[in-house]
Amino acid sequence: MKTKIAIIGAGPAGLALANALLRRGIGDFLVLEREAEAGGLCRSQIVDGAPLDTGGGHFLDVRRPAVTAFAFDFLPEAEWNRFDRDSRISIHGRLIGSPFEANIWQLDEAHQRRYLADIAAAGCNTGAPMPEKFVDWIYWKLGRGIAEDYMLPYNRKMFGDDLNVLGTYWLEKLPNVSYEDTLRSCEERRPHAVQPGHASFHYPKAFGFGELWRRMGEALGPRLLLGTPARTLDVASRTVNGEIEAGLVVNTAPWPAFERIDGLSPESLAAIASLRHTAVDIDYVPEDPDTPAQWIYQPDPALPEHRWLVRRNFLPGSRGYWRETRRERNPPLRPGAFRATNDWAYPLNTVGKNEAMAALLAEASAHGVLGLGRWGEWQHYNSDLVVERALALAERISRG
Ligand SMILES: Cc1cc2nc3c(=O)[nH]c(=O)nc-3n(C[C@H](O)[C@H](O)[C@H](O)COP(=O)(O)OP(=O)(O)OC[C@H]3O[C@@H](n4cnc5c(N)ncnc54)[C@H](O)[C@@H]3O)c2cc1C
pLDDT per residue over 140-186, tens digit each?
999 999 999 999 999 999 999 999 999 999 987 777 888 999 999 99
- Statement: residue 286 has pLDDT above 80: yes
Looking from the CA of residue 58, the nearest atom of ligand 1 is: 8
Percent of the chain with pLDDT over 70: 99
In whole angstroms, give the CA distance from residue 263 to residue 230: 16
For the chain, the C-alpha Rg in angstroms (whole number) is: 22
* Count of residues making up the chain: 400
In whole angstroms, give the CA distance from residue 105 to residue 115: 10
In whole angstroms, give the CA distance from residue 198 to residue 179: 23
Looking from the CA of residue 324, the nearest atom of ligand 1 is: 1
In whole angstroms, give the CA distance from residue 131 to residue 118: 17
- Ligand 1 proximal residues by C-beta, below 6 Å: 8-14, 32-35, 40-42, 55-59, 229-230, 252-253, 257, 280, 324, 344-346, 373-375, 381-384, 386
Q: How far is the CA of 143 from the centre of ligand 1 (A)?
A: 34
Residue 82: other Cβ atoms inside 10 A: 11
Q: How far is the CA of 155 from the centre of ligand 1 (A)?
A: 20
pLDDT per residue as tens digits for the range 343-365: 999 999 999 999 999 999 999 99
Nearest to 211 by CA among 54, 83, 374: 54
Residue nearest ligand 1's atom 15 by CA: 382
Residue nearest ligand 1's atom 17 by CA: 41
Q: How far is the CA of 69 from the centre of ligand 1 (A)?
A: 20
What mean pLDDT is predicted for residues 358-385?
98
Q: How confident is the model at residue 49 (pLDDT cuts 50, 70, 90)?
A: very high
In whole angstroms, give the CA distance from residue 317 to residue 336: 23
> Given CA atoms 291, 298, 58, 142 in this order, what sign does their dihedral have?
positive
Give Dmax (Cα) for the chain: 69
Specify the DSSP class assigned to residue 126: H
Residue type, 392: A
Q: How far is the CA of 29 from the centre of ligand 1 (A)?
A: 21
- Statement: residue 396 has pLDDT above 70: yes
Probe ligand 1: pick from 17, 19, 53, 58, max atoms within 8 Å of CB? 58
Nearest to 41 by CA among 393, 391, 381: 381
Residue nearest ligand 1's atom 1 by CA: 56
Q: Which domains does the chain have, with CATH numbers?
A: 2-85+204-398 (3.50.50.60), 87-188 (no CATH)
Residue nearest ligand 1's atom 35 by CA: 9
In whole angstroms, give the CA distance from residue 372 to residue 361: 10
Structure confidence at residue 172 (pLDDT): 75
Structure confidence at residue 196 (pLDDT): 67
Probe ligand 1: pick from 330, 383, 384, max atoms within 8 Å of CB? 383
Looking from the CA of residue 375, the nearest atom of ligand 1 is: 26
Q: Are 280 and 325 in contact (CB under 8 A)?
A: yes
Q: How far is the CA of 125 from the centre of ligand 1 (A)?
A: 38
pLDDT per residue as tens digits for the range 212-257: 999 999 999 999 999 999 999 999 999 999 999 999 999 999 999 9
In whole angstroms, give the CA distance from residue 92 to residue 300: 9
Nearest to 291 by CA among 315, 320, 313: 313
In whole angstroms, give the CA distance from residue 363 to residue 355: 13
Nearest to 158 by CA among 280, 303, 322: 280
